[in-house]
Amino acid sequence: MALRLAAERPRQLRFLRSRLPSLQDAEDAWQDAAVKFLQHADALGAAERPQVWMGVSLRRLVVDRYRRAAAQRRTLEALAVQPPSETTDTGEDLVAPGDCLKAALGELKPEYRQILAETYLDERPLKAVALHHDLTANNAAVRLHRARNALRQAMAEKCRSCPLADCWAKARAEGLRTPHRASRSDARAA
């Protein structure tokens, strides 16, 4: 595989250089592609036409790089357009964005706190969380659903007086409306 990569490198670098802004970007992209090729060496070796597989992978890599660059550019443009915040010292203590989330989590039932923490913070699959707590997958999914609703309600009550207009905790609580992808697939598998 290493010999095949070495043989293909000049051609692939020409391809990348013609599509990326600089030689350094092309080199970086080729390094990323080489790692991917080595990780999938068995599939690449079994492929009928490995050069075609590598070419498709390189095209996707170029598209992904342009998408990431465009997203970064849009973010920077949006930040540049935002007016500077006019903060005056009014004596009010501003609440840190995570404080209202922590306070809302503290008001939940312990089993709700625990399933939210294990599923979202520890990023454990719902099925594993269910096994850990001797629950069925369906029961764990129901508990997680109820925990998200309880957290959303607690956040709505806590954050009414939040001085931060774009509070991270509010946005995170709103994001909990859609179930965690892992929990959705685990619940279906059970």
Locate 91 and state its tokens: 């004596």
- CA triple 47-33-29, angle to 5 deg: 150
Question: Which span out of 34-43, 55-64, 76-85 was modeled with the highest average pLDDT?
Answer: 55-64
Judge whether residue 138 has pLDDT over 90.
yes
Q: How far apart are CA 25 and CA 6, in angstroms?
A: 19
pLDDT confidence band for 89 (50 / 70 / 90): very low
Q: At what angle do helices 137-158 and 181-189 cross, to 10 degrees?
A: 150
Higher pLDDT, 146 or 96: 146
Q: Are 25 and 65 in contact (CB under 8 A)?
A: yes
Judge whether residue 86 has pLDDT over 70.
no
Q: How far apart are CA 190 and CA 179, in angstroms?
A: 16
List alpha helices for 47-158, DSSP H: 50-81, 97-106, 110-116, 126-132, 137-158
Q: Which of 26-30, 46-50, 180-184 has the lowest mean pLDDT?
A: 180-184
Residue 92 dihedral angles phi and psi, to the nearest 5°: -80, 140
Residue 14 burial (10 A CB sphere; 0-12, 13-18, 19+): exposed
Residue 106 dihedral angles phi and psi, to the nearest 5°: -65, -25
Q: How far apart are CA 56 and CA 12, in angstroms?
A: 11
Higher pLDDT, 161 or 93: 161
Higher pLDDT, 187 or 58: 58
The pTM of this model reads 0.40
CA torsion sign for 25, 67, 40, 54 is: negative
